[in-house]
Each structure stands twice: as structure tokens, then as C-alpha cells.
Chains A and B, each alone.
Chain A
Amino acid sequence: MPQLFKPSANTLAKLSVILAGLLPVVVLYAGVTVSRSPYNTKVDIPIDQPIPFSHQHHAYELGIDCRYCHTTVEKTAIAGVPPTETCMSCHSQIWTNSPLLEPVRKSYETGLPIAFADGSPGWTKVNAVPDFVYFDHSIHIDRGINCNVCHGPVNKMQITWKGNDFQMRWCLECHREPEKYLYTDAANPNLSGREQVFNLYMKLQEGAKLTQREYNMLYKNEFRYSPNTKEIEEGKALVKKYGVTKESNVDCYTCHH
């Protein structure tokens, strides 16, 4: 009877043992990579909407304050999508015949939500957290967290996309070490956290020169203070000034009540 296995089978056998050991690692790595990729998180993917609303045009070029539409962002948990009436405040006067705005006019006439041309309803939600997360916009604004820090460069978006993955790991980066992320304008240190947020957009409107950190905060999302530097001391002072309670920041019940 001839040999069933050639000598090379020994190598294969050893290799297969090693590969079997590696398999769980590879599977885990692939799983994590897919779950953190834009395929799953939808980060950086412009979302189709009934109206191709441009934040760049309205907020950056025209200089309309965020809060003109998102009226409740400073006061409540949700920023608020404006009622059709808000759009019509201006668009009853300008671009009154634009076919792009037909859904707005239709919604205003009928009192029904803005819908796609085929009748399927509503704006598609771009940013969402799971229902077991109780996120509150107002407290973040109050601590001077700029809109762009979480939502990406909204004031430069022609069509809105999601700026960050909103996974818990990402939330905790800041909740664990707020001193790395808090911001104040060196020229206006007396403004409250809330005022700091909108002061920065005002500076953009006025064409003031931004510091590198301000630019990175608005557009690059890379503005962390490094540990053991002079800046991090400034960050720690801001934690105190804004009244950030670091201990409760990482308590489960802060976000999951």
C-alpha cells in the first residue's frame, strides 16, 4: 500500500494548526473593521433627502445662525428639525418657483411632513443614537462643545453626511478626558461655553483668522491636547470653569438611564 500522505503534508498539518489558532483573531479583526467602517456606520456618506438642502449655502455663505432652524439645541435634548414654516419664512419670497423646493410648498399647503417626490415621507435621519442612549444637546452646547466636533464640517456640507460614527468608544474618548477636548477662544475667555460655540461661527462670518486648533476642530476633527503639555493645563482649567464632572461623565447611568 502506497503512502497516503506526501512528506509535504507534515508542513500543511503544522500550518493548519497555526492558522486555526489565528482564525478567531482574524474573524474578530474583520468583524471590528467592518463594524467601524463607513459600510456600517455611514460616516462620510451623503444621505439622499427629499430636498438637496445645503448647510454650506445657508449656514456658511448666507451666515444664518444654526439656531434659526435648530431652535431647541441650547435648551433641550434634541436640536430639532425646523417646521416647514421656517423654510417658507424666506422661500415664500425667494426661489418661489424652484422645482427643488416643490416638496416644501406642498408640505406647507397640506400640513403633511416634507416627502420625497414618490410620496415616501420625511427627511432621512442622518445622526442617530440607539434608543437606550439618552443624549442631550443642551448640556454639550453649555460646555462649549462645537457642533462640528460631533457632526463634522456641517458648515461646509453641500449634502449632509454623518461626521462621526457615534459608537460608544467614540463618546467615551471625550467623556474620559474632557480636558483634551474643551475649547475657549483666547481672545474672548469670558464668554460662557454656550457663547463660545457660536462665537466661533461668528468669527468665520467676520473673516477673522482662526487658530490652528480652531481650524482643526471645525474641519479636521484632530484637535486633542497632548498630555503633559502647557495646553493640557488650560484644558484642566476649562474642566473646572465649565463645571464638567469627570466622575459622573463615565457613569453608565449618565447616558443609559
Chain B
Amino acid sequence: MQRQITIGLTLVGAALLVAGCHTDMWQQPKVKAQQKSEFQGFSNKAASRPLVAGTVPRGKMKLDEAFFTGFQDGKLVKELPIQVDEMVLKRGQERFDIFCSHCHGRNGDGKGMINQRGLVLVRPPASYHSDRLRNMPIGHFYDVITNGFGVMYRQAPGVEPADRWAIAAYIRVLQTAMNGNLNDVPSDERSKLEASAGKPSIADAATPGEEKS
């Protein structure tokens, strides 16, 4: 009798221990971002669904045509629709370095790493330092980031509208810097520049190339 009780208790104890080994909380019947869904209605099996066409998040209606398209009344906007300060330009530089520089180059001369590695590109990335792009209304840069241009794909999914304008503003900075001379530098900064004369700088590396488009 005692033996049977011992065996019985052991089995109950083992069952309790094994019951602890389950994973239903580790893999819950919910979907997280970018997970797979077995739902039959989703033909590409992606759990994250695209927004239904025409969806407007509350308070996010894109009413400002110039800000969201780069066009005003069918024409490229010539003025930035945002206030520019140092923060915006720094943000623009950061976003430019992330999203644009590997093709267009850190200084915008179109000689980024992909261009160097692409051997012979049929249509190499544009340099911003051509007359065509120097004279282009600023809305053009917003439009190209949003919709792409030539063989360049749109970069809209990764770059929010405000950041696109910040990048556009930074492109103007690059264009100005590349065509600047010593007289553009504030007098108190000139001595620093002259001290570093002879050392390689971003402007030395630049050779504005011809635009092919």
C-alpha cells in the first residue's frame, strides 16, 4: 500500500513539473509587426496590412499642398515651407548622410560609395553642383525624394516629409559651400580656415561633375 502511495505521489509530482514546460505564453496567438499570418484572406501572408486607400489618420489630413508634394498650383515651390534653423540643417545633414550619401556622396558630388563600386553605371547619381540643379527650385529635391527620379527609387518610406525638407535645405547648404570662397566666411572664422589651409578638406575632394540626365 505504502509503495503504491509513493509511486502515485511521484507521478503527480512529475506531472506538475512537466506541466511547467509549455510555451503558449512564449508564442502567443497574436501577430507582431512584420510577422507572418496564416489568414486566408491575406494573399501575401503578411500580418501587417497596408492602409486602405484614402485612409486619413485623425488630424493628419495632408492639406498643405506645398509641404506634402513640393508643388504649389502645379509649379515646384521655390521657398522652403518650413522654418530653417541650425537644428533643421543638422537634422538634414544627418538624414542626408543616412539616405542619400552612399550614392550622391557626403558632399553631394555624385561620387558616393555605390557609384564607386557600381563600376559602369548607365546613369550615375547626379551631382548637386551642376547649373541645372543649382538653379532648380527647392521643391524639386522634395519631389525626387518622394517619388524618385530617373533610375533613383523613391525614398519616401524611410524619410518623413519634414525630414525631406530638411534634406532639401541641406542640399542647398552643400551647393553653397561647394561654390563659396573666403569672402563668404565670417571674419572671426577665417583665421581657423586659414590655419587649416593645405590640409585636405571636403571642398578639395570635390570636383563638380557634369550632369547626365
Contact = CB atoms under 8 A, between A and B. Distances in A.
A63 B46 CA distance: 30
Interface string B13-49: 0000000000001111010111010000000111000
A132 interface: yes
Interface stretch (A14-22, A79-87, A212-220): A79-87
B34 A131 contact: no
B82 to A, nearest CB: 19
A90 interface: yes
A62 interface: yes
A113 B44 contact: yes
B98 A90 contact: no
A89 B153 contact: yes
Contacts of A90: 102-103, 114
A131 B25 contact: yes
Interface in A72-121: 77-78, 80-81, 83, 85-86, 88-90, 92-94, 111-113, 121
Chain A interface SS verdict (over half): loop
Given A68-B102, A94-B118, A122-B36, A63 B26 contact: no
Nearest to A122: B36
A131 B27 contact: yes
A132 B26 contact: yes
B94 to A, nearest CB: 8
Contact of B33 (A78, A86, A111): A78
Nearest to B98: A65
Contact of A132 (B25, B33, B103, B153): B25
A71 interface: yes
A72 to B, nearest CB: 9
B97 interface: yes
B158 interface: yes
B57 to A, nearest CB: 15
Nearest to A81: B34
A67 interface: yes
B102 A64 contact: yes
Contacts of A93: 114, 118, 121-123, 151
B28 A88 contact: no
Interface of A: 62-65, 67-68, 71, 77-78, 80-81, 83, 85-86, 88-90, 92-94, 111-113, 121-122, 130-132
Interface of B: 25-28, 30, 32-34, 36, 44-46, 97-99, 102-103, 113-114, 117-119, 121-123, 151-153, 155, 157-158
20 contacts: A64-B113, A65-B97, A65-B98, A65-B99, A67-B98, A71-B158, A77-B33, A80-B34, A81-B34, A90-B103, A92-B151, A93-B114, A93-B122, A94-B114, A94-B119, A112-B45, A113-B46, A122-B36, A131-B25, A131-B27
Given A67-B98, A122-B36, A131-B26, 8 more contacts: A78-B33, A89-B155, A94-B117, A112-B44, A112-B45, A131-B32, A132-B25, A132-B26
